[in-house]
Structure 1
Amino acid sequence: MKVVPIFIYFGIFLSSLFSVEVQAQEAFESSVSALPTLPAALSDDSQYVLGSGDRLHLSFFNVPEYDGEKQILVDGSVNLPLIGKLSIAGLTLEAAKQRLEFSYSNYLRTPLISIDLVAPRPIKVGVSGEVNRPGAYEISLTDGSNEWPTVVDAIQLSGGITDQANVRHVEIHRFQASPDEQVIQIDFWDVLTTGNIQNDITLRHGDAIYVPTAATLTPEELTQLSAANFSPDSIRVTVVGEVPNPGAVNVPPNAPLNQALLAAGGFDPRRARTDEVELVRLNPDGTVSQRKIAVGFDQGINEDGNPSLRNNDVVLVGRSASTALADDVGGALAPLGVILSPIRLLLNLLD
C-alpha cells in the first residue's frame, strides 16, 4: 500500500479552499453587476467626483450584513459599520473604493468592497455669454431617466441662445479631479449640420458654460439657428401704431421684421405709412437705438430692409401724411365744434 505524504492532502485542501473562495468572489461580482446602475454616460466616467447628497450602494465580499445604501452627508462623510464616519467627498468612485478597503483592512482579512452610485446629487453649473438668462442653475437627474444632463440642457434652462451667439466655439470650463482648469471647446454648428451629438458632452458639478459673441451671421445661419433646440421657442416683440392689432406679439427667434408686422395684422390700409417704420432696440449696454427702416414685404432677411428681431424690440408704425393732416385738422376744429354745439341744440329745440 502506497503512502501519500500529508503535504499532498494539505495542498489539495488548500486548493479546494481557494477554488471555493474564487467561486464565491465570482458570485459576489455577479451579484454586484446585477445592481441597478446609472446611464453609461456616467458609470463609464471615472472622473465623476463624489459629494454631499450622492447616494451609494456598498457591497462587502463575504460580509453581506454590511451591505446597503449610504448617503454622503453634508460634511462629506458616510457612516459605516465598525469604522464609523469616513470622509469620501472629493474622491472618484475608484478612489473611494480604495479608501474603504484600506480602512477595513484592520477589521477584515480580505476587504473587497464594491461601490455603485445609485442616485447622484443635483449638479450646479454656471451659464454666461450669449444666452437669454445667464446665471447659476441646478440640474437634477430625473428618476427613471436614461440620460445624464448635457450642455444643451443647461443652455435650454438659461432661456436659449441669443441671435448674437457663436455656437461654433462654446466653452466648458471644468474644475474636476485636478487643481487645473480644463477648457473644453464645443462646435454646436457641427451638431446642426451633421447631427453629431458627441459634441453635446455631459455636464459635471461646477462646470461653467460660456457662449461667445459671433462677429457676423448670415441670414441662412440665423434661420438655421432659430430652428435649433437650444434656441428659445419664441421672443417677445411689441408692435405699436397704425396696425389692426397693436401690442406684444410672440415670434420665433431671429424672426424678420416683416413677420412681426404680419403678426400684428399688417398695416392699417386707411391710416398707416406703409413705406417706412421705426425700430427701437434696447442694447445690452443699456443704451437705446432708434432707426428708420424702409419696409418691403418682398424682401428676405437683410439688415437694411428686413432685419432679424431681438427679444423686447419695439416696432413703431407711423401715420400716413394724409392721416396726419386729417388728424391735425380735426384737432384744430374740435374747439369750434364745442362752441357750435349749444347753437345746434337751440335750433333743434326751436324746430
Structure 2
Amino acid sequence: MSKITVFLSIILVAATLAAGCSGGSRAVVSEEAVALQRAQAQRAKTESLNRQISTVSDRFASRARQSDYPLGAGDVIDIAVFQVDELNKTVRVNGRGTIILPLLGELEVAGLTAQEAEQLLVERLGEYLHDPQVSVFVSEYRSQEISVVGAVNDPGIKNVNRSRTLLEMLTLAGGLDEKAGGQVYVQTADIDPDTGERLARNTIVDLRQLLRSPEYNFILQGGDTVFVPEAGIVFVEGAVEKPGAVALEQETTVLKAIAQAGGPKYEAIEDQVQVIRQTESGEPQIRLVDLEEVRKTGENDIVLEDGDIVVVGINSFKRGWRGFWRGFAGIFSVGVGL
C-alpha cells in the first residue's frame, strides 16, 4: 500500500470518527431539547387543567347547599316556631348528636339535614300544636376534616366549615401537580338508615367527566378522602427505538406513547399496532391502531390506560434488508482500513 493510500485512509477514518462524534453530540442535545419541550408541554397542560378545575369549581360551588349538610356534634342551629316565641331557640348539637328543647326534651338530630330536622320537629310538635310551622337554620358549622392526598400541590387534611364539592377540595389542595394521572379516587361515607353506621363507599372519577358533568362533582363531608394517584405506566414493545415502560400522562395516546419510546424503527409495521388491555374478567382485549391513518387524519388514536401494552410489529423483510446493509457497511469499512 502506498504512502498516499495510507494517508488518505487515515483522513477518511478521522473524518468518519469526527462525524460520528458530532452526530452523537447532536443526538444528546436533541434528546435534552425533546425532554425539555415535553416537560414544558406537560406543565402547560397541567396549568390549563387546574384553571379549568378552578373555573368549574366556582360555577358549581353552590351545589354544596346547606340543605345537603348533615348535622353533627358541634353545629349550632337556630330553631324558629311561627307564633310560638317560647320555642324559638338557638342550640348546639352535643357530643351524643342530640339537642334539648322545651316541651320535646332530647331529640337526636345527628346525620339529619336541616330540612329533615324541620320535619322531625313538625311531627313532634304536632302532638301539641295544630299545624306547626318550623324552620331550622345552621348558624355555625363545626370544623370538618377532609383529606386530599396524592399528586396535588398541597396535600394534607383540610379543615372546612361546610360541605364542599370534589372540585372545591382539589382547588383547596392547590390543584393537580404535573405527575397527576387522569383519575381521582373518592372515599365517602353513607349513613346506613337501619343501623346509623357510616358505610365507606369508594368511587373512581375520570377527570374529563368531572369537568364536563356536574353529576360527578360529589359533595364531600367531614371524614371523606380524595386521592389523586400519579400517572401510571404503559409498556411499549417491539419495533421502537426505546422499548420499555412509558409514563402515562393525561390523555396519553398510542401515537404519543410510541413517540415517548423514541419512535418506530425502520422495520416497524405501523398500520397494525396492537393495544393489549386487561378486561375486568381478566381476559386480554386487543385493538389495532393504524399510525399512518392517525397521522393523516388525527382520528382513531386510542387513549391509553394504566397497564396497557402497546406492541409495534416487526416487518421481517425490512429487518433482513436492514441487517444486510449493516453487514455490507461493516465489510466496506474493514476493506477501507486495510
Q: TM-score range by the shorter chain?
A: 0.3 to 0.5
TM-score normalised by L of structure 2: 0.42
Higher helix share: 2
Larger radius of gyration: 1
Higher strand share: 2
TM-score normalised by L of structure 1: 0.41
